[in-house]
């Protein structure tokens, strides 16, 4: 799955390669791999799910593909082998974070809707709120945690 490097990705890798801060080649390689994985996670990518069409259904996934056209070509290739399936956008936590941060609804007390029992308020021990009051996050919701 070929990829065309972007200017900001090239600059990030070049910064590491030119840095005098690395004592060993291994430590530089470790940082390069981590950096590239973060950069690629920010890109829009696509996956393909295909399954054999017949009495025995066996499904498999392929990807990531860096363009929808590449993913569709892979699906067409699978179709010639007797498979059917679909193309789906893949989302990293970095790509989803802005959506999640603004769409999660919480109560004025800071707890999520599922913590509120109908007509009885919040089910969290010692929480004094009454009925659920919608408030849009991110004020009271912990941000999505991403391992680095």
Verify that 52 and 67 share a domain, yes or no: yes
Distance CA 14, CA 4 (A): 16
143 lies in some domain: no
Domain count, the chain: 3
* Average pLDDT of the segment spanning 37-56: 85
pLDDT above 60: residue 138 = no
52 lies in some domain: yes
What is the structure's pLDDT at 106? Answer: 62
Distance CA 5, CA 38 (A): 14
2 lies in some domain: no
Burial of residue 32 (number of CB atoms within 10 Å: 0-12, 13-18, 19+): middle
What is the structure's pLDDT at 141? Answer: 43
Average pLDDT over all residues of the chain: 76
* Average pLDDT of the segment spanning 4-18: 90
Verify that 56 and 87 share a domain, yes or no: yes
53 lies in some domain: yes
pLDDT above 80: residue 24 = yes
89 lies in some domain: yes
99 lies in some domain: no
For residue 34, give the nearest of 44, 45, 22 by alpha carbon.
Answer: 22
Verify that 35 and 51 share a domain, yes or no: no
Note the pTM of the prediction, 2 decimals: 0.55
Distance CA 17, CA 62 (A): 32
- CA 36 vs. chain centroid, Å, equals 15
Verify that 37 and 50 share a domain, yes or no: no
- Is residue 48 helix, strand or coil? strand
Domain that holds residue 121: 104-136
pLDDT above 60: residue 128 = yes
112 lies in some domain: yes
What is the structure's pLDDT at 92? Answer: 72
146 lies in some domain: no
For residue 109, give the nearest of 131, 76, 87 by alpha carbon.
Answer: 131
pLDDT above 80: residue 85 = yes
pLDDT tens-digit profile of 90-110? 877 666 665 555 555 666 666
């Amino acid at each position: 799955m070929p990829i065309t490097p972007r200017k900001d990705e090239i600059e990030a890798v070049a910064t590491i390669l030119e840095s005098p801060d690395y004592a060993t080649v291994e430590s530089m390689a470790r940082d390069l791999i981590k950096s590239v994985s973060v950069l690629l996670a920010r890109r829009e990518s696509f996956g393909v799910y295909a399954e054999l069409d017949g009495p025995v259904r066996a499904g498999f996934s392929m990807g990531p593909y860096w363009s929808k056209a590449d993913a569709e070509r892979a699906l067409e290739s699978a179709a010639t082998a007797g498979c059917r399936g679909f193309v789906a956008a893949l989302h990293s936590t970095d790509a989803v974070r802005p959506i999640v941060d603004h769409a999660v609804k919480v109560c004025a007390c800071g707890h999520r809707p599922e913590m509120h029992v109908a007509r009885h308020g919040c089910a969290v021990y010692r929480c004094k709120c009454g009925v659920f009051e919608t408030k849009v996050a991110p004020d009271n919701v912990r941000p999505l945690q991403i391992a680095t």
